[in-house]
Amino acid sequence: MSFWGVGIPSMFGSMSHQPPAPVAMRNPLGWWWHTPHDTLDKVDEANLVRDTRIFVRALWRLLTSTVLPLDFAAHARALTIELRLVEATLEGRLSLDPLLNAAAALEAVATRATSDATLMALSRALVPADYTSGNRFAHDPALPLPPWPILEPVRALAAAPDGDAARFALVGARRACNHLQHLLQQAITIVGSPR
């Protein structure tokens, strides 16, 4: 998504995927998606009506809710789960305790974020780490990414063979951890700042 890098969340990646076929398509939305052949004759009217109703209902809820329905405590819990999974593969090469502690601290305070301005500021800080490599000034390739792509250098450390490869990977992993630690601290500060 084009806007994850600057912290704008999305609710629906896509709807109306094509049914699985014996020959796999490049994209679940159809071989024609984002090509010159992506024309009106490919539209299924019943799916379009259904999808429009879903989008209108979601948009109505967003526009009429007192506060944006964003749950950053759940976001912190999801990060904790991912950190534990990654930590289990590291074999002691790097401690993720500072990140786990920061994620727990964010979870503890996130429910205090009760204004749209605070929730949007949290989104700007955390969404890039959850859905991109975390660099708002670079565009990630349009390829599938694992959860919390900012942790890819840490995963690379876990996969690196002992020796120079592991030592070089450790530098990248520490930088990634420092980056994520900074974003988590920024999020905790945002919750504590009146908006």
Tell me the average confidence (pLDDT) per consecutive run of 10 residues in the chain, 195 residues long.
Answer: 68 69 68 84 87 92 91 96 97 97 98 93 90 78 84 97 96 97 96 83
Identity of the residue numbered 11: M
Identity of the residue numbered 138: A
Q: Residue 133 has which token pair? A: 């490599």
Alpha helix locations (H) across 132-163? 152-159
Provide φ and ψ at 113, rounded to 5°.
-80, 100
Query: 110: closest CA among 69, 71, 143, 157?
Result: 71
- Count CB-CB contacts under 10 A for residue 62: 11
- Residues 64-85 have pLDDT tens digits of 999 998 999 999 999 999 999 9
4, 138 in Cβ contact below 8 A?
no
Alpha-carbon 50 to chain mean position: 27
